[in-house]
A and B are shown apart, each in its own frame.
Chain A
Amino acid sequence: MARITAGVASSHVPLLGVAHDQGKDRDEYFGPIFAGYEWTRAWEKAEKPDVVILVYNDHASAFDMKIVPTFAIGCGERYKPADEGWGARQVPDVIGDPDLAWHIAQSLILDEFDMTIINEMDVDHGLTVPLSMMFGAVEQWPAKVIPLAVNVVTYPVPTGNRCWALGEAIARAVASYPEDLDVQIWGTGGMSHQLQGPRAGLINREWDNMFLDKLVGETDELRWIPHIEYLRETGSEGIEMVMWLIMRGALGKATRQLHRHYHVPCSNTAIGHLVLEPA
């Protein structure tokens, strides 16, 4: 049977992709950020997950305002890196797992999560930056990837509780898949950042670390944080952290922390990174 073996959370700042692609990842600015991912790269090489369910948000790349799905799951064979306005990243195509993805999609719909199905799309920095951070520069990504896109741009975005519950449903779906697969689930985006208006540049180290603390162990307090608290405390784009709750929900009742990293700043953003396993 397939099983969820671990959860990974990480910011997905586009500038990290630029730094990685241009070999600046050891310079004075980026060195301390990338250093916090070295542990994870070594761990991923040893873990060799078969599939990663990668929870992210599209930044007006695959979806424009014509269609805004709240939760969408990629059931395609492969996805190309998107041209986000400065040319596509020179990273490998992302290879999907249509069999498992369709199994999850069908299971979720019967479990009353009315998913949007994606068969074709390009994937932007929200998805490819975490792959680079966790796997480094590679000829091909070492795991298949099931993209799970969440609307965290147009309000109302899904509640933290709904995200957590979706994670729980994903775990049930994976557990009922007959193939013997190690599946990781990644929650990306965050941490505190605001990319718009006179309040841009907001960072809240204390709140971010509270959030990191409570992803570990048995507490499920985070699922009840209302949108307004993310907005007030962590900036308008800090709301992306609801996507981490899908990852957390999928890990079950309790988690154990394997690795943690926090750094300010990367461009406009606080970088947070956490590796968890079900306890």
Chain B
Amino acid sequence: MTQPPARPTTDIHAYLEELEDIPGTRVYTAARARRGYRINQFAMSLMKAENRARFKADERAYLDEWDLSEEARAALLARDYNALLDMGGNVYFLAKLFSTDGIGFAEAVSSMTEHDFESYKAMMAAGGRSPQGQRSKKANRAAEGAADNEGTC
């Protein structure tokens, strides 16, 4: 076995800062996992058929049994998945909610984008969303700055 080269210990602060640099993405960090704990555990409860039935019968009453903020309850009722991601929801947990609705991954995921489901499917069939311009908020800002400067010259 070859000895791997010595690597510096990762700087946790720099590591976490980089994770926030990706456009249109909420990486499920410890901070989000803490914030969204109750939302995600509520979603987990929908793994049980009896809970799904109770939730479907009266969503509001079922949500009231959970220690959630009013903001989180409203986002859950509205199926506002981007708002739920902001509150620390994770898509694999939220999947229990859209499965309860009888909706598949692609349809639920499309609701978080600029597309409706039909045009999202068309984008995927055409090869998906390009990573071009989607890699880094900082790089995008720098590119915009450069473009603005060019404009003023």
Contact = CB atoms under 8 A, between A and B. Distances in A.
B106 A231 contact: no
Interface string A6-27: 0000000011001000000000
A194 B92 contact: no
Interface stretch (B39-47, B63-71, B72-80, B145-153): B39-47
A64 B19 contact: no
Contacts of A154: 28, 30, 33, 90
Contact of A199 (B1, B29, B120, B129): B129
A201 B129 contact: yes
Contact of B27 (A59, A85, A155, A200): A155
Given A15-B104, A199-B134, A83 B113 contact: no
A203 B37 contact: no
A203 B129 contact: yes
Given A60-B92, A64-B40, A205 B127 contact: yes
A202 B128 contact: yes
A195 interface: yes
B131 A231 contact: no
B58 interface: no
A155 B19 contact: yes
Given A65-B41, A86-B99, A264 B27 contact: no
Nearest to A13: B105
Contact of B26 (A156, A197, A270): A197
Nearest to A58: B92
A279 B66 CA distance: 55
Interface string A197-226: 111111111010000000000000001000
Contacts of A270: 128
A154 B28 CA distance: 6
Contacts of A207: 131
A242 to B, nearest CB: 14
A5 interface: no
B54 to A, nearest CB: 14
Nearest to B101: A85
B142 interface: no
Contacts of A165: 4
Interface of B: 1, 4, 7, 15, 18-19, 21-30, 33, 37, 40-41, 43-44, 46-49, 52, 81-82, 85, 90-93, 95-96, 99-100, 102, 104-106, 109-110, 112-115, 120, 123-125, 127-131, 134-136
Interface of A: 14-15, 18, 59-61, 64-66, 82-87, 153-156, 161, 165, 168, 192, 194-205, 207, 223, 227-228, 231-233, 236, 264-265, 267-268, 270
15 contacts: A15-B105, A64-B41, A64-B44, A65-B44, A84-B99, A85-B99, A195-B91, A196-B85, A198-B114, A201-B123, A205-B127, A228-B18, A228-B21, A231-B27, A270-B128
Q: Nearest 10 pairs between A and B by C-beta?
A: A203-B128, A85-B99, A199-B24, A198-B24, A265-B124, A201-B129, A60-B92, A232-B135, A85-B96, A59-B92
Given A196-B85, A197-B113, 11 more contacts: A15-B104, A85-B95, A153-B28, A196-B25, A198-B114, A199-B24, A201-B113, A201-B120, A227-B19, A264-B127, A268-B105
